[in-house]
Chains A and B, each alone.
Chain A
Amino acid sequence: MGAALAGYLTFAVVLLGGWELTAQLGLVGRDLLPPLSEVCAILWRFLHDPRFISDLGLTAGEVAIAFLIAAPLAISTGFLLGERLHLAETFNPVVHFVLAVPQSIFLPVFILAFGIGFFEKVLFGITHAYFVILLNSFAAVRSIPRPLVAAARVFGATRAQIYTRIYLPAMLPLILTGLRLGMILCIIGVLLAEMYASRRGIGRLIFTWGEGYQVPELLAGIVLVSVLTITVNEAMRLAELHVSRFYARASTA
């Protein structure tokens, strides 16, 4: 943990320090790379601007709703495929085909079918998150040691108890990995949809600033989104590490 923290700090210092230094020394044109301090000042102003906050909130809301719909759907589909292998034989290739194709190329189709707006963006987030969560949920079911289930049955576990007392804890680490990857993809999906065609949202703002050559604002947006997504990812990764502590050598138990 200490080593990881040192790594993060070194990375942050080198990246941000290098940025400020490069800009202050004029190594790169000021209009292409304004100093970090200036970008931070703009970011600070943004955070006190109700219009900016409402755009940010809209995007966050879209991501949250997409994720909350995709996650239970994907976990239960993965569970079903894991428990019914004849279904898995039919549908797993489909899932792999879908994952092989970059989903971004379907965005124009989504827009044609569902128009531009909240619904389309959420739907695009859902399809991004769904398949990777599904695959992890499927793998989680398959990873449950069968002898553990047999033992529980001998000791009188009911079907419900086998699901809650064996399946759930045994599946948790892989489910959490799936959820984390799904969250990353969900954010990508929503932001893509916003940048491609949207009236509001942080993705739209970033796209507009880029188009308008408003580099400080653009960088402020990038920094903010980066910090937020890293925070979400790290929080989920910590939960994952916490849970998988017991599973490191589970196979030998």
Chain B
Amino acid sequence: MPIIEVSKLAKDFNAGRAVLRALADVSFSVEEGQFVTLVGPSGCGKSTLLQILAGLIAATSGQVLIEGKRISAPMPDKIGMVFQDPTLLPWKTALANVEFPLDLRGVDRALRRSRCSALLELVGLSEFADHYPHELSGGMRQRVAIARGLAQDPRLILMDEPFAALDEQTRTRMGHDLLDIWQKTGKTVFFITHSLTEAIYLSDVVLVMSPRPGRIIETIAIDFPRPRELDMIGSEAFGRIRNRIWHLIAEAQV
């Protein structure tokens, strides 16, 4: 059974008197343990799709099954999420931020502590447990957000352009470390980006979305061996895939 199953999903927004169709007939599925990335031009409805998957907004038609269950509200035990902004609580320390989802569910303090300390270690921030968000760099904040996304031990992590605001070097490093975390934890990751390089480097499967109204126009399996090396980004095979996706998006745009 696929962990995500989306069929004939559509989403309309009311924009004054007009109706804006953000998503039209989106269908795809994601198998457990996969790293799947969705790419598409900005404004194509990627984030809208992710918000529907997270249960934050309702679809106009079609359905989303997460672990075979129809989603209509957030499912914190099944889905963790990392946002484009770290969205950490500025009045809580890094550790307390990671603990926040467990805290909401009333998980025992000692259990929370030990579990979240381990997660901070996983993202390489053990030494910064007592720091407040404003004392951390952009990359570190996003690491805290990743640890928080893992806190409730969900099988699926949704990531909405999590590295978009970071500089190129930090971004590459974060992608590399994310693959490491993904392999260690065995989670399913559904990732959104507009960087084709990032998408191909990270993923098992890249879903290509058309401009608004968004549809999935191509599903591309990425067969590069793992663990992946940064050198492969310069390879000819990598370039071919990137060009192919680039043309798909460019042609859909006219």
Contact = CB atoms under 8 A, between A and B. Distances in A.
Interface stretch (A93-101, A153-161, A229-237): A153-161
Contacts, number: 70
Nearest to A248: B134
Interface stretch (A77-85, A144-152, A215-223): A144-152
Given A147-B83, A166-B89, A154 B74 contact: yes
B101 interface: yes
B54 A155 contact: no
A238 B63 CA distance: 53
Interface in A200-253: 246-250, 252-253
Interface string A109-147: 000000000000000000000000000000000000101
A246 B81 contact: no
Contact of A154 (B76, B90, B134): B76
Given A150-B56, A253-B141, A157 B134 contact: no
B100 interface: yes
Interface in B132-161: 132-134, 141, 148, 151-152
B134 A161 contact: no
Given A165-B104, A246-B134, A154 B141 contact: no
A17 interface: no
B79 interface: yes
Contact of B74 (A153, A161, A247): A153
Q: Binding site of A, secondary structure by majority: helix, strand, loop or mixed?
A: helix
Size class of B's contact patch? 20 to 34
Which residue of A145, A154, A165 has the most chain B CB atoms within 10 A of its CB atom? A154
Nearest to B51: A150
A249 B141 CA distance: 13
A50 B210 CA distance: 82
Given A246-B132, A252-B134, A151 B83 contact: yes
Nearest to B79: A154
Interface string B111-140: 000000000000000000000111000000
B170 interface: no
A174 to B, nearest CB: 14
B217 to A, nearest CB: 28
A169 interface: yes
Contacts of A169: 89, 91
Given A154-B79, A155-B100, A253-B141, A147 B134 contact: no
B105 interface: yes
A250 B141 CA distance: 12
A18 B104 CA distance: 59
Interface in B74-95: 74, 76-77, 79-81, 83, 85-91
A145 B83 CA distance: 13
5 contacts: A150-B51, A151-B81, A165-B100, A246-B91, A253-B86
Given A154-B54, A253-B86, 20 more contacts: A147-B87, A151-B81, A153-B56, A154-B79, A154-B81, A155-B76, A155-B100, A155-B151, A156-B74, A156-B101, A156-B105, A157-B104, A246-B132, A246-B134, A247-B90, A247-B91, A250-B90, A250-B134, A253-B133, A253-B141
